[in-house]
Amino acid sequence: MITLDNVSKTYGSGPGAVQALKDIDLQVPKGTIHGVIGLSGAGKSTLIRCVNLLERPSAGRVLIDGEDLTAMDAAALRQARHQCGMIFQHFNLLTNRTVYDNVALPLELMGQSRQTIRERVLPLLEMTGLADKTKQYPAQLSGGQKQRVAIARALASRPKVLLCDEATSALDPQTTASILTLLQEINRQLGLTILLITHEMEVVKTICHRVGLISDGRLVEDADVGDFFTAPGTQLGREFLNDFLKLEAPQALIERLEPEPSETTHPVVRLTFSGDSVSTPLISRLAREHGIDVSILQAKVESIQGRTLGLMIAELMGSASQTRQALTTLESFDLQVEVMGHVQRTD
Partner 1 sequence: MSSALIDLVWQSTLETLYMVAVAGILSALAGVPLGVLLYVTRPRQILAQPAVNTILGIVTNVGRSVPFIILLVAIIPFTRMIVGSSIGTNAAAVPLTIAAIPFVARLVEGALNEVSPGLVEAAQSMGATPMQIIMKVLLPEARGGIINGLTITIVALVSYSAMAGAVGGGGLGDLGIRYGYNRFNPTVMLITVVVLVVMVQLFQSLGDYLVRKSDHK
Contact flag: residue 92 with partner 1 (CB under 8 A):
yes
What span, in angstroms and rounded, lies between the C-alpha atoms of 278 and 123?
A: 44
Min separation Cβ 88 and partner 1, Å:
6
Of residues 40-59, those binding partner 1 (CB under 8 A): 52, 54
Q: Among 63, 72, 118, 137, which residue sits at the site for partner 1 (rule: CB under 8 A)?
A: 137
- The residue (of 79 and 262) whose beta carbon lies closer to partner 1 is 79
What span, in angstroms and rounded, lies between the C-alpha atoms of 272 and 241?
A: 11
Beta-ladder partners of 37:
198, 213
Q: Among 28, 45, 47, 88, which residue sits at the site for partner 1 (rule: CB under 8 A)?
A: 88
Give the chain's end-to-end CA distance (angstroms, integer): 60
Taken in order 289, 290, 291, 293, the sign of the CA dihedral is negative
Contact flag: residue 80 with partner 1 (CB under 8 A):
yes
Min separation Cβ 294 and partner 1, Å:
54
Q: Among 78, 114, 188, 300, which residue sits at the site for partner 1 (rule: CB under 8 A)?
A: 78
Of residues 161-220, those binding partner 1 (CB under 8 A): 163
Task: Report yes or no: 108 and 163 within 8 Å, Cβ to Cβ.
Answer: no
Contact flag: residue 108 with partner 1 (CB under 8 A):
yes
DSSP result, 191-232: --EEEEEES-HHHHHHH-SEEEEEETTEEEEEEEHHHHHH--
Min separation Cβ 134 and partner 1, Å:
14
Find the radius of gyration of the CA atoms of the chain: 25
- The residue (of 90 and 199) whose beta carbon lies closer to partner 1 is 90
- The residue (of 79 and 328) whose beta carbon lies closer to partner 1 is 79
Contact flag: residue 110 with partner 1 (CB under 8 A):
yes
Contact flag: residue 105 with partner 1 (CB under 8 A):
yes
- The residue (of 117 and 213) whose beta carbon lies closer to partner 1 is 117
Contact flag: residue 332 with partner 1 (CB under 8 A):
no
Q: Among 38, 106, 217, 318, which residue sits at the site for partner 1 (rule: CB under 8 A)?
A: 106
- The residue (of 21 and 48) whose beta carbon lies closer to partner 1 is 48
| Binding segment toward partner 1, per CB under 8 A, in 18-26, 75-83, 195-203, 252-260 | 75-83
Min separation Cβ 305 and partner 1, Å:
29
Cα 314 to Cα 86, 94, 233, 285, 298, distances in angstroms: 45, 54, 23, 15, 7
CA 57 centroid distance within chain: 23
Min separation Cβ 57 and partner 1, Å:
16
Give which of 259, 198, 224, 215 is closest to 45, Cα–Cα: 198
**156 secondary structure, DSSP code:** T
Cα 267 to Cα 25, 124, 165, 178, 323, distances in angstroms: 41, 58, 44, 43, 7
Query: Coil, helix or strand for 84?
Result: strand
Which residues of the chain form contacts with partner 1 (CB under 8 A)? 52, 54, 77-82, 84-86, 88, 90, 92-97, 105-106, 108-110, 137-139, 153, 157, 163
